[in-house]
Amino acid sequence: MMVRRREEICGQKVPGSYPREGEILVTWCLGVDVTANQEEISDHETFQLEFDPSTKRWYIRTMQDRYWTLETGGGIQASGDKKSSNALYDLVWQGDGSVALRANNGKFIATKRSGHLYANSDSADDSCRYYFYLINRPILVLKCEQGFVGFKTGANNSLRLECNKANYETIQVERADRGVVYFKGHNGRYWHFDSEGVTADADVPMEGFFLELHEPTRVCIKSAGPALYI
């Protein structure tokens, strides 16, 4: 998992570079404090999500096996070497595709001007919203209660997708900016949706999507245009 905060960045942007304009990476490399002030991706900006089935909340672990922990005063530090109630967070998905993190004190984590993270906000305003990327999942296989996602049978509908297949189709995930991802079918074409459903028939990315992680094996997929769930 990689997390970016919403912020305006001054200066020039290198085409194709990360983060893109409006995004700063959350890191913990400056000690135990978790801050949002980095512009390059490294292991310090990559975190592991661990689900707690008893509370339906999440632990956030650094690559050095330290947990984001709520400290006295509301500060967030990567100081815990063991799981605790103060290391659990609710992922509260927002309508714009961002996610807010609610700590064990019932407050949302907000980014201060210094970049430090504090759980002291009663509502998920702009300072509490972050973009989320699954960076270790370039390929997805999707399944619902009726079966796997795959192409509809029949020559006239071979590019339309259904979720009732006995065999799976691999889906390539391409990361864009501000939490958006594009999906590409095994035919090399991108997902495109209309009033009749989803097809993999676009030569270039047309519609972006957001992934909302709810359980380790369950996600919701939402259009980045009109806020509609698939």
Give the pLDDT mean for 147-151.
Answer: 93
- In contact, 41 and 25? CB cutoff 8 Å: yes
Q: How far apart are CA 5 and CA 101, in angstroms?
A: 12
What confidence score (pLDDT) does residue 41 get?
62
pTM above 0.75, yes or no: yes
How confident is the model over 75-96, as pLDDT tens digits?
Answer: 998 888 899 999 999 999 999 9
> Cβ distance 90 to 69 under 8 Å?
no
pLDDT at position 31, please? Answer: 53
Domains of the chain, each with CATH number or no CATH: 2-133 (2.80.10.50), 139-223 (2.80.10.50)
- Average of pLDDT values for 178-199? 90
Question: Helix, strand, coil proportions of the chain in percent (round to 5)?
Answer: 5, 50, 45
d(Cα 37, Cα 22) in Å, to the nearest integer?
12
How far apart, in whole angstroms, are the C-alpha atoms of residue 18 and residue 103?
A: 28
Quick check: 110 and 121 in contact, CB under 8 A?
yes
Distance (Å, whole) CA 223 – CA 36 = 27
Residue-wise pLDDT tens digits, 102-117: 999 999 999 988 888 9
Q: What is the pLDDT of residue 80?
A: 81
């709520």: which residue's tokens?
A: 70
Question: What was the pLDDT predicted at 69?
Answer: 94
> Which pLDDT tens digit goes with each residue over 33-70?
676 655 566 566 678 899 999 999 999 998 888 899 99
